[in-house]
Amino acid sequence: MLAGLIFATEDADDRRGTLAATLPFGGLTLIEFQARLVVAAGASQLIVVVARLTPELLGAISRIGRRGVSVDVVRNAVEAKQKIHPLARVLVVADGLVTTGDVVALLAGDGEDAILTMSDRDAVPGFERVGVDAAWAGLARLDPKRIAEVAAMPRDYDFQSTLLRVAAQAQAVQIAMPPGAAGGAHGIERDSRTLADRGNVILAALVSKPVAWADRFLLAPLARLVLPALMARGMPTWALGATGCVIGLGGLAAIWFAWPGTGVALTIVAALAFTIGQALAWLRDEEGLSRAQRTAIPGFAALAALELGHASMQTGTATGWTLSITLIAAAALVERAAHDRTRRAWWATSVAYLVAMLIPVGAGYPLIGLSLAAMYAGVTLFAAIEAFREKP
């Protein structure tokens, strides 16, 4: 069992009377984002350590509780000790920490006490020193008895700092954070303006995460260009999804009215809008919108392929239909067979099929474009099956 211990005691640097944990972050509050990361790592219980309860914090805690995890609010180590199951592993999150799910996953598993560290020269302000050349990177995995040890100390001791010292004295393993693990998004932030900048970096890291070449090197760079402006304007997630739908429908209309190259290009642009919207929806804890936009990308790509195949019927042959249906079937099987752990950068995705078709379709050869995409899907399917099979 994994329990999360999140500290929310410090005030924001630039907003008097406001807790840093309740500063806005990507359409929600910082503590909601932290809770999302901890729950995604497998935590079934959250303990929030507070110095005082504000209306903003109460609202954030209420929204966190809707995720189906138990949320308890405590003021000190004694109360925390009473709430945490003695057999649980405790994932500690520092006050004001901003990071990514990949970093949290480093400490989310079972194991002995561990502290995430980084080199003192690489540490940003807010990280506490835990060694000659090591600073605490804001995350730790501890046994509940460490909290019991802090509970036995005077109550005027700072809970977070004392817990860190107790863990260090107990010879907790120091896990060095891999360079670039958070894409520059890891840090302690209590300033609202700097926190907004961190949000942009987090989103950039999210859209850069895909392994496939088309998503990583075509969509991700374009998404990083427009994300800061969208975040600054508070663009709602549904608006991006609606924009993607309008562009995608425009692409389908262009193919229908004999502008196939334009139609495929517009479908790629629609995929870009859905990619950005999916990242925003994940950050804002809008699972339904995130799932819908993730599904819309292959959906519009499949419709575009079907329309290209339908165009060949004007020549009195069903070759186009055959190629488009073969492409869709192979692509669906690729998605079933491919796994994040086995996927390779060259494997095809919905956007990769569109890119493969773009030039021949734009030149007036839709059947060649469909043939290239179908062969690409077939080769990827073969590789995915081979990767999926058990090796002797």
| Tens digits of residue pLDDT in 325-356 | 999 999 999 888 877 677 788 888 999 999 99
What CATH number does the domain located at 208-388 have? 1.20.120.1760
Rounded Cα distance between 164 and 151, Å, is: 13
Query: For residue 390, what pLDDT is reported?
Result: 55
Specify whether the CB–CB gap between 105 and 177 falls below 8 A.
Answer: no
Structure-token match 């209420």, residue found = 62
End-to-end CA distance of the chain: 34
Query: For residue 101, what pLDDT is reported?
Result: 83
Neighbours of 17 (CB within 10 A): 8
What fold does the segment set 2-191 form as a domain? Spore Coat Polysaccharide Biosynthesis Protein SpsA; Chain A (3.90.550)
> Which residues 6+ apart lie within 8 Å of 56 measured at CB?
18, 19, 22, 29
How large is the average pLDDT for residues 57-72?
88
pLDDT, greater one: 376 or 185: 376
Rounded Cα distance between 229 and 207, Å, is: 15
Rounded Cα distance between 366 and 281, Å, is: 35
pLDDT, greater one: 357 or 385: 357
> Which residues 6+ apart lie within 8 Å of 322 measured at CB?
309
- What is the helix (H) or strand (E) element at residue 238, kind and residue range? helix 237-256
| Tens digits of residue pLDDT in 307-328 | 998 877 666 678 888 999 999 9
Q: Is the pLDDT of residue 392 over 50?
A: no
Q: Is the pLDDT of residue 122 over 70?
A: no
Query: For residue 86, what pLDDT is reported?
Result: 84
Mean pLDDT lowest for which of 33-42, 179-188, 316-325, 352-361? 179-188
How large is the average pLDDT for residues 245-252?
96
How large is the average pLDDT for residues 353-368?
92
Largest CA distance in the chain: 87
| Tens digits of residue pLDDT in 193-207 | 888 777 767 766 666
- Percent of the chain, pLDDT > 70? 89
Query: For residue 376, what pLDDT is reported?
Result: 93
CA dihedral 138, 105, 100, 290 (to 10 degrees): -150
The predicted model scores a pTM of 0.74
* Ranges of each domain in the chain: 2-191, 208-388
Crossing angle of helices 260-283 and 237-256, in 10° steps, is 170
Crossing angle of helices 287-311 and 350-362, in 10° steps, is 30
| Tens digits of residue pLDDT in 69-121 | 889 999 999 999 999 988 889 999 999 898 888 888 888 878 899 999 888 66
Rounded Cα distance between 61 and 22, Å, is: 10
The mean of the pLDDT values for the chain is 85
- Record the tokens describing residue 352, joined without a space: 């990769």
